[in-house]
């Protein structure tokens, strides 16, 4: 498997423009997560999906942020309008169902390479 694929790797945009980040999860994974990483706040969960349905979007900063998962193999995170404070690395991650009863399982969330967003 190619892993979690994110695009673009780098994005530079002007304040006020719309930005769309894309993610292709690992085939068969039930969960998809969007994280943001900044020096000040570290790694923050923005939203996650289970079987394409948004489960928890409490981490989305404000209405300028929206995320969709139209099918099991694709998700987008959109910022409109973008602001300089949105500059960060955005990670997408996917995971199979974690709960395995009392069994021991040595897998975890697989992260994509991230999109480095710079809003000027």
Partner 1 sequence: AQKVTQAQTEISVVEKEDVTLDCVYETRDTTYYLFWYKQPPSGELVFLIRRNSFDEQNEISGRYSWNFQKSTSSFNFTITASQVVDSAVYFCALSEHQGGSEKLVFGKGTKLTVNP
The dihedrals phi and psi of 71, each to the nearest 5 degrees, come to -155, 175
- Phi-psi region at 19: left, alpha or beta (left = phi > 0; alpha = psi -120 to 50): beta
Residue 110 binds partner 1 (CB under 8 A): yes
What is the distance between the terminal CA atoms of the chain, rounded to a whole angstrom? 36
Window contacting partner 1 (CB under 8 A); options: 12-20, 61-69, 70-78, 97-105: 97-105
Draw the binding track, 42-61, toward partner 1 (x: CB under 8 A; -: no contact): xx-x--x-x----xx-----
| Residue 106 interacting with partner 1 (CB under 8 A) | yes
Q: How many CA atoms lie within 13 A of 23 on its CB side?
A: 33
Which is nearer to partner 1, 15 or 55 (by Cβ)? 55
Rounded to 5°, angle at Cα 78 from 83 and 39: 50
Q: Using CB under 8 A, list all residues that contact partner 1.
A: 31, 33, 42-43, 45, 48, 50, 55-56, 89, 91, 93, 95, 98-99, 102, 104-111, 113-114, 116
């Amino acid at each position: 498997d190619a892993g979690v694929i994110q695009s673009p790797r780098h994005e530079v945009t002007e304040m006020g423009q719309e930005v769309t980040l894309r993610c292709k999860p690992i085939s068969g994974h039930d969960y998809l997560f969007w994280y943001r990483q900044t020096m000040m706040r570290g790694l923050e969960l923005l939203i996650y999906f289970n079987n394409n349905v948004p489960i928890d979007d409490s981490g989305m900063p404000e209405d300028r942020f929206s995320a969709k998962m139209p099918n099991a193999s694709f998700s987008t995170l959109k910022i409109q309008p973008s602001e300089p404070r949105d500059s960060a690395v955005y990670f997408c991650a996917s995971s199979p169902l974690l709960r395995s009863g009392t069994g021991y399982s040595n897998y975890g969330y697989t992260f994509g390479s991230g999109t480095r967003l710079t809003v000027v």
